[in-house]
C-alpha cells in the first residue's frame, strides 16, 4: 500500500494505491460503505464524471485500473491499449478518489487467464457486441465479478456508452444474487458530440471528423422516432451511408432489454451503433421514444 508517487518522486496525498487484495482489504477496513468505479485506465472526462457521480454515494470511493486480458479477442488491441497510470492517478486524485486498486494480471488470474473459471454471459452475450467479439463479455463479466469479490462495493457505477455491457452486468448481479447496486451514467461527449472513449486517441484528426457521423446518425434517428422504428433506422442509416470513412458493424434499434424491435413497436428504446473508423472500433448509443409520447 502506498500514497500516490509521481515520476519525479514527489508525493501527492489523498489517494491510496494498492496492488493486492490483501492491501485492498486493509485500506478499506472499518471505513464504511464503498463505491466502485471499474476502469481499464487511460482515463478521460467520461471516467471522471463516473467518479463524481459515485463520490457522494458511499463513504469510500474506489477506482480500479486494470487492463483485462480476457475481454480482448485474438488480433485485438490488448498490447497496444493505452496505459497512462501517472495521468490516471492525477484524474483520480482530482475526483476525490480514496483508493486506487491497480492489480497485475497474476493478482487477478493466479493460474493465468486461460486457466480461470469464467462467467458465461448467456444469450444476451451472443448478440451485437457478442456476435462481433464472441469471448468479450465472458471476460468482462468475469473481471467485474472478481472486482466485486475483491472490493465488496455497496454500489458500482458504469457508463452507458457500453450499454450492452451495463445490461449484462445488471443481469449477472440479479441472476447470481450479488449484493451490489449497479448504477449507469449517461454518455459523456466531446464538445463536437463524439462519445468519449479511451480509443479516441487512435483517431487522426480526419478520422475524428468522420467518427462524428455516429452521433449525428443517432440524432437523426431520434428526430425520426415519432414516425416509427423503420423511420428511426432509415434516418440513422442515411447519415452513416453518407460518410465513406465509417465502416458500420451494426445499427440496431432495441427495447430497454436489448431485444430488437420491428415497426409495430412503440415505447422507450435504445438505438445502438458500432463502426470502424480506420482501424479503430467505436460504439455509441442513444435512448429514445418510438412513436408518439404516451404510445
Task: Sort strands 246-254 and 267-277 into parallel, antiparallel or unpaired.
Answer: antiparallel
Each residue of 123-141: pLDDT tens digit? 999 999 999 999 999 999 9
Domain parsing of the chain, residue ranges: 2-185, 198-289
Cβ contact 14:95 at 8 Å: no
Catalytic residues: 47
pLDDT at 8: 30
Among 76, 58, 55, residue whose Cα is nearest residue 67: 76
* CATH topology for the 198-289 domain: 3.30.1300
CATH number 1.10.150.120 is the correct assignment for the domain at 2-185? no
Give the chain's residues under pLDDT 70: 1-13, 294-295
Answer whether 156's CB lies under 8 Å from 36's CB: yes
Please tell me the predicted confidence (pLDDT) of residue 293.
Answer: 78
pLDDT reported for residue 75: 86
DSSP state of 187: P
User: Residue 188's pLDDT is what?
Assistant: 95
Task: Burial-class residue 244 by CB neighbours within 10 Å (0-12, 13-18, 19+).
Answer: exposed
* Alpha-carbon dihedral sign for residues 224, 278, 40, 95: negative
- Grid coordinates representing 2? 502506498
Contact 262, 195 (CB under 8 A): no
Amino acid at each position: 500500500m502506498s500514497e500516490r508517487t509521481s515520476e519525479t518522486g514527489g508525493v501527492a496525498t489523498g489517494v491510496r494505491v494498492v496492488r493486492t487484495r490483501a492491501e485492498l482489504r486493509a485500506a478499506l477496513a472499518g471505513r464504511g460503505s464503498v463505491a466502485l468505479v471499474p476502469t481499464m485506465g487511460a482515463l478521460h472526462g467520461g471516467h471522471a464524471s463516473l467518479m463524481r457521480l459515485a463520490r457522494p454515494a458511499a463513504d469510500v470511493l474506489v477506482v480500479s485500473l486494470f487492463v483485462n486480458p480476457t475481454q480482448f479477442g485474438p488480433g485485438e488491441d490488448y498490447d497496444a491499449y493505452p496505459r497512462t497510470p501517472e495521468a490516471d492517478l492525477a484524474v483520480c486524485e482530482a475526483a476525490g478518489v480514496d483508493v486506487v486498486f491497480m492489480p497485475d494480471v497474476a493478482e487477478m488470474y493466479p493460474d493465468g487467464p486461460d486457466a480461470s473459471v469464467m462467467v458465461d454471459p448467456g444469450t444476451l452475450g451472443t448478440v451485437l457486441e457478442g456476435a462481433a467479439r464472441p469471448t468479450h463479455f465472458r471476460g468482462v463479466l468475469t473481471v467485474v465479478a472478481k472486482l466485486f469479490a475483491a472490493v465488496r462495493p455497496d454500489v458500482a457505477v458504469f457508463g452507458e456508452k457500453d450499454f450492452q455491457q451495463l445490461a449484462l452486468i445488471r443481469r449477472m448481479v440479479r441472476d447470481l444474487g450479488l449484493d451490489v447496486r449497479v448504477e449507469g451514467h449517461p454518455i459523456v461527449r466531446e464538445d463536437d458530440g463524439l462519445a468519449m472513449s479511451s480509443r479516441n486517441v487512435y483517431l487522426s484528426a480526419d478520422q475524428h471528423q468522420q467518427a462524428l457521423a455516429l452521433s449525428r446518425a443517432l440524432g437523426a434517428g431520434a428526430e425520426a422516432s415519432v414516425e416509427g422504428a423503420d423511420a428511426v433506422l432509415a434516418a440513422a442509416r442515411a447519415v452513416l451511408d453518407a460518410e465513406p470513412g465509417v465502416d458500420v458493424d451494426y445499427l440496431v434499434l432495441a427495447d430497454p432489454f436489448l431485444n430488437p424491435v420491428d415497426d409495430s413497436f412503440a415505447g422507450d428504446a435504445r438505438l445502438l451503433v458500432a463502426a470502424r473508423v480506420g482501424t479503430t472500433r467505436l460504439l455509441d448509443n442513444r435512448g429514445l421514444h418510438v412513436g408518439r409520447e404516451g404510445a
